[in-house]
Structure 1
Amino acid sequence: MEVLVSGKLFQLSILACLGAWAMAESQCGRLEEKLLYTTQESTEPSENPWIGILLEEQGPRYQNLRCSVVIINELHVLTTATCVKRFKNRSGDTKAVAMLGVWNEDDSPDEELACNEKDFCVPGPKLYKVVEIKVHPQSDRDTGDNDLAILRLEKTVEWSAWIQPICLQGSSEPETLTNRNLHYSGFNNDGTNKGKGLSMTVSTRKCKQLTSSSVFFPVNQLCGYPVKRTKFYPGSALMDIDVRSDKPHNFYLVAILVRNVDAGQATTQVYQNVRRARSWIMENVK
């Protein structure tokens, strides 16, 4: 037992050093190139550190709403409007809570260290109360278009190696998102660890076919055809990579997942295009 405790104390000191380094070197959309080319479906603990989970405060407990949130800056996270429609209060005591710095959704924020069965430890997740919910003004319940919501947090997020923001824009971006092999990340129904994958975006015409939307498909949404059929939570981030001087520099957000559609042997991911909502996001996260 003494060896185990000593090991954890040593690991805690290392984690503290990494956290201090991250706060000094924090940048949006941080990536490690070597992690881009693996076939792993689970992330490393500090990989994609802008992904969190939406909770609902229920007395002394919190209910996991099976929705991801994406950290935009030190006071705001982004998710879908559908994920927050259950909250009647849009300001003050909303009962909404963002759990950030989470790698395994079963980990408790009451624990300073969250350890697995192999005694591998990471800092426990942090809870941030939501004090304001802003739904996109053109959110359409009938069509599902503009399914976006910005959540303002009660206190400033403390940056660490496990909690950092995503970039909202790349230095150079393609005109279209069609036929792009993009990265996505969030939590899903097949495991408790934060996951990741690749998804090929398709044309609107193909999107209609895959989702059986023969007449209408929301103009500000797009479809992704994932390599794996794993169903990720709404709010998961679809990301492109900003390349500078021929090197992958950082991730930036292009869309967030709103739903999964099963059709035969395929699963289609339907995403809300964030690029077309950037001006609204920027105006509301100042």
Structure 2
Amino acid sequence: MPFSSEIELLVFPETLANNDMALLVSGKLVQLLMLAWLGALATGEIQCGRLDENLLYTTDESTKPSENPWVGILLEDQGNHYENMRCSVVIINELHVLTTASCVKGFNSRSGDTKAVAMLGVWNENDSPEEELVCNDKDFCVPGPELYKVVDIKVHPQRDRDTGDNDLAILRLEKAIEWTHWIQPICLEGSSEPETLTNRNLHYSGFNHGDYSRGKGLAMTVSTPKCKKLTSSTVFFPVNQMCAYPVKRTKFYPGAPLMDIDVRDEKPHNFYLVAILVRNIDTDATTQVYQSVRRARSWLLENTK
């Protein structure tokens, strides 16, 4: 990717430290401000599900580079290139990401040589891991995405191929993730959660078929009877899945996280994972079908130690 001779590094004022250092790029002096989270990185203190309250109340359909930094893309190593599998992955800790079992059904499940790769820290699908910096048309730049080889795939033991229920897979990475401002984990649960997920206006994020940049949106969850009607499942609907109406009809890739907000002291504190997207259905409006992770949390924790 060609770079302008005057590169401006994208930084976030609320996270800046008091020190800065000079970086010389293409003969131009650029101020690379040190981020306050460096101290936390050094001690291993990473806050999962980090959010910026200001970004919750916008109508933007694209995220900022540091927004929802737990969403990546699943690739397949083809030897001479990486194929985008059009599935999202969600970072849950330093060695594991989560996606749907359907997304990994074509991969080798044997440990060590799965051919699956997680691309993390990606803001635009067209960005290459070979780029040290990637910039937009306004010369705002962020670090290029990072590749992490997947060495083990664990599909939920109660996955039902007939109904699609428990469509979850944990992917273990070859090496620990290096945390940055653009690569961080989501929280797996909130400090207090509502009893029901029906009629909840929840956040989701990921990549989609309509834009190359990482997107976001809101979706209203519906009741199981309504979900059965929307999916034409008149007799049976998977007990651990749920439906939601997105505000926009954009079809996001499977694996996109559906998130609620943990509120503490009457302030939004962090995002936590509620479900991941398994499919989109077109009726009068787009319906999203999600796999809930609530009943799978013990399995997730046990297999991501």
TM-score (norm 2): 0.89
Separation in 1, partners of 2:116, 2:86: 13
Counterparts of 1:1-286 in structure 2 under 5 Å?
3-4=6-7, 5=25, 10=30, 13-14=32-33, 17=35, 20=38, 23-24=41-42, 26-264=46-284, 266-286=285-305
Amino acid at match of 2:56: L
Bigger radius of gyration: 2
Question: Using a 3 Å threshold, how does the CA distance of structure 1 residues 120 and 173 change in structure 2: closer, same or farther?
Answer: same
The structure that is helix-richer by fraction is 1
Identical-residue share of aligned pairs (%): 77
Equivalent AA in structure 2 for residue 273 of structure 1: S
Give 1:215 deviation, angstroms. 1.3
Q: Kindly indicate whether the alpha-carbon contact (under 8 Å) linking 1:133 and 1:149 is maintained by their aligned counterparts in 2.
A: yes
State the Cα distance separating 1:276 from its structure 2 match. 1.0
2:66 maps to a residue whose letter is: S
| CA separation of 1:202 and 1:118: change in aligned 2, threshold 3 A | same
Report how far residue 252 of structure 1 moved: 0.2
Distance 1:58 1:19, change over 3 A: farther
Contact 1:18 1:161 in 2 (8 A): no
CA distance in 1, matches of 2:135, 2:120: 17
CA distance in 1, matches of 2:102, 2:26: 46
Residues 8 and 61 of structure 1, relative CA distance in 2, 3 Å threshold: farther
Give the C-alpha shift of residue 20 in structure 1: 2.7
Structure 2: distance between partners of 1:284 and 1:7: 49
- Which portions of structure 1, spanning 4 or more consecutive aligned residues, are displaced by more than 3 angstroms? 1-9, 16-19
Question: What is the CA-CA distance between 1:19 and the residue it aligns to?
Answer: 6.6
Output the CA distance in 2 between the equivalents of 1:213 and 1:183. Answer: 25
After alignment, is 207-216 or 182-191 more displaced? 207-216
Instruction: Provide the secondary structure at the position in 1 that maps to 2:254.
Output: coil
Rounded Cα–Cα distance in structure 2 between residues aligned with 1:8 and 1:198: 41
Where relative contact order (Cα < 8 A, 6+ residues apart) is larger, the structure is 1
Alpha-carbon distance between aligned partners in 2 of 1:193 and 1:116, rounded to the nearest angstrom: 11
What SS does structure 2 have at the residue aligned with 1:10? Answer: strand
Partner of 2:20: none
Give per-residue Cα distances to partners, 1:13-56, cap 9 Å, x unaligned.
33x64673562562100000000000000000000000000000
Structure 2: segments with no counterpart, 5+ residues:
8-24
What is the CA–CA distance in structure 2 between the aligned matches of 1:76 and 1:10, rounded to whole Å? Answer: 35
Structure 1 length-normalised TM = 0.95
For residues 133-157 of structure 1, give each alpha carbon's deviation from its aligned partner in whole angstroms, at most 9, with x where no partner exists: 0000011111000000000000000
Using the alignment, how far apart are the partners of 2:259 and 2:28 within structure 1?
34
The root-mean-square deviation of aligned C-alpha atoms, in Å, is 1.6
Aligned-partner Cα distance in 1 for 2:74–2:269: 28
Q: Say whether the 8 Å CA contact 2:74–2:117 is kept in structure 1.
A: yes
Which AA in structure 2 matches 1:87? F
How many residue pairs end up in the alignment? 283
Deviation for aligned residue 1:214: 1.2
